[in-house]
Chain A
Amino acid sequence: MEPYLYGCRLEQDIIDLDQTMEHLQLALNFTAHLAYRGGIILFVSRQRQFSQLVESTAQGCGEYAHTRYWQGGLLTNAPIQYGPGVRLPDLIVFLSTLNNVFQQHVAIRDAAKMNIPTIGVVDSNCNPSLLTYPVPGNDDTPIAMELYCHLFKMIINRAKDKRKRMELLPSAASLNTSELLKKKSE
């Protein structure tokens, strides 16, 4: 976490918010593109004080949330635990990367094993190395968590609305999605 920290004031680590801004934009952009393409997004957070908020966020944007105890084989042993032919999430968003004993959440490692990209809010006591799009930020205060949840919900809803509108247009059939990406990256 050291490159993402601005400094240390009276033994409190201060996160560099300019970097946070860039990382957050990247992460939200990725989420939007995935939601546009019809991907399944899973919100994970093991913080009990925000479990209700995370679950209502997921419900509000029509995606999924897992804020309870993570059983070992949920991703890696999915066909046996859930049944054959189960579809795994295409993106996992961690609103807090730690579990209740302040160790890294098992799902980060499991998502990397199952080739699932991850977005995570990393605080100064977290390890951001295994996440594809880490977002350095505070994961403890209610205001910060409400901001993240609001942003993700808004982004996913907008992407899904855009998708519906594009499908209704008659010219949508001719446009390739990879062409859309090239246009956006220019």
Chain B
Amino acid sequence: MDYSNATMYQNLYTFIINSPTLISLRVRDLMRSGVIKPSQKPIWFDVYDAFPPKKEPLYVKPHTRTTKKQDPVPEILYREDEIRAKFFEQYGTGYRSFLLHKPDFVSTCQRFVDKYMELKSRDELSEAALFEETGKALLAEGITLKRRGAPPVSAESRESRLTDVSAEQQVVGAGSEETTDATHTQ
């Protein structure tokens, strides 16, 4: 086989790189025009014709989005995610860490979710009621869920403005803390 293909292609260099055609089309055209002799046919040509790829290998420029367009990749969300979000918001990260060295490990949150789905299939209660029922059920099984509490806002001392302002600041601080914590755990 004559391996002067490299020199031959160098002569057609600028033409080749400027045209956005595929290697199969290019080689077929070169063979048809007689630049590539049938004896010099590339090994992959027949194989490519017999088993073409799923998508033609044409160069697609990755688009640089200047304006915020919708992300085409769908988010994978499950129904249990709502329960998980509420769990983390209310109870924080839980008292037990994730022991991932065990292959069949079930975390506190997962147990909560399983119990919630079980209770949901059995009874017809509202969401908040179901939430509390699951908490009680888990308590019965021996898992205590410590509520992530906001700092106390005393209703009695509303005489001076100073205490009022400090109470407001505390509530605001706890709210922002909770939201940042929720995003962090997710």
Contacts and interface: CB of A to CB of B under 8 A. Distances in A.
Interface in B35-62: 42-44, 46-48, 50-51, 53-54, 57-60, 62
Contacts of A29: 51
B9 A114 contact: yes
A9 B10 contact: no
A76 B6 CA distance: 7
A115 B46 contact: no
A8 B74 contact: yes
Contacts of A134: 53, 57
Contacts of B4: 85
Most buried by B among A2, A129, A184: A129
B44 A39 contact: yes
Interface in A21-50: 22-23, 26, 29-30, 33-34, 37-39
Nearest to B16: A113
A13 interface: yes
Contact of A115 (B9, B47, B50, B73): B9
A116 B24 CA distance: 10
A84 B4 CA distance: 8
A144 interface: no
B152 interface: no
Contacts of A116: 23
B51 A86 contact: no
A7 B54 contact: no
B75 A7 contact: yes
Contacts of A127: 60, 62
Interface of B: 1, 3-7, 9-10, 13, 16-17, 23, 26-27, 42-44, 46-48, 50-51, 53-54, 57-60, 62, 71-76, 186
25 contacts: A2-B73, A7-B73, A23-B54, A26-B53, A26-B54, A29-B51, A37-B47, A76-B10, A79-B6, A79-B7, A84-B7, A86-B3, A87-B3, A88-B5, A90-B43, A114-B5, A114-B6, A115-B26, A129-B57, A130-B57, A131-B57, A134-B57, A177-B46, A181-B50, A185-B50
